[in-house]
A and B are shown apart, each in its own frame.
Chain A
């Protein structure tokens, strides 16, 4: 019973490098989300996809892009990583808007 799966679990990048965080869910959910968690600030929404084929900005989208590849997969791309993007990134999904959200185990990203 996998739920929401994120890869990789850990990553270290140099400033200016790019990378893509992968997320897949096996619950046939319509909506998917990317959050970041920073100490003392709680989780903040980066981007979301209400349904397959749509994506929208959340609270902190600058420096990120997303792709809803299909219903199962939602990726987050950092085109040119900056130290301010050091954080723990969480992917989440829900059956539809305003329903229970389920989270992955997170990706701990360090940008040096």
Chain B
């Protein structure tokens, strides 16, 4: 069964810290992996898409890495800000006829001013 685990489930850090969110997935046969953020009561905002052939993808203060063979991805957030407070979701895509995204339950991040 394809499962996604995100650790930690919740994280609280002071403003300015660099932090790492972890995602592991049981089936390594992915097409790509997408990281999202979700604010309370809101939809999902796409942060980064990393292809299965890539090792890293960067967008501003965010850097996602992918180790497909070991079934792991990390999201690195540099110089965290209170506005980064949200739930972060990882979703490997198993493709086929559908964009078969399998979601983890997320990491709830709180950045304290």
Task: Give A contacts to B, CB under 8 Å.
Answer: 4, 31, 33, 40-45, 48, 50, 56, 58, 90, 92, 94, 97-106, 108
- The residue that B99 contacts in the complex, of A40, A44, A97, A106, with Cβ under 8 A, is A97
Beyond A100-B34, A103-B44, 7 extra complex contacts between A and B, CB < 8 Å: A42-B103, A42-B106, A43-B101, A94-B99, A99-B49, A101-B46, A103-B36
A56 to B97, CA, bound (A): 9
Set of chain A residues within 8 Å of B98, measured between Cβ atoms: 31, 33, 45, 48, 50, 56, 58, 97
Interface of B is mostly: loop
Instruction: Give how many A-B residue pairs fall within 8 Å (CB-CB).
Output: 67
Set of chain A residues within 8 Å of B89, measured between Cβ atoms: 42-43
A31 to B105, CA, bound (A): 24
Task: Give B contacts to A, CB under 8 Å.
Answer: 4, 31-32, 34, 36, 41-46, 49, 89, 91, 93, 95-106
Set of chain B residues within 8 Å of A100, measured between Cβ atoms: 34, 46, 49
- The residue that B101 contacts in the complex, of A40, A45, A56, A104, with Cβ under 8 A, is A45
Minimum-distance CB pairs A-B, first 5? A42-B103, A103-B44, A105-B43, A43-B103, A98-B31
In contact, A101 and B34 (Cβ under 8 angstroms): yes
A33 to B34, CA, bound (A): 16
Q: Determine the residue in chain A with the shortest Cβ distance to B52.
A: A98
Q: A40-B105, A42-B106, A43-B103 are in contact. Are A97 and B97 (CB under 8 A)?
A: yes
A44 to B101, CA, bound (A): 9
Residue of A31, A58, A103, A108 with most chain B CB atoms under a 10 A cut-off: A103
A69 to B55, CA, bound (A): 39
In contact, A31 and B99 (Cβ under 8 angstroms): yes
Q: A42-B4, A42-B106 are in contact. Are A101 and B101 (CB under 8 A)?
A: yes
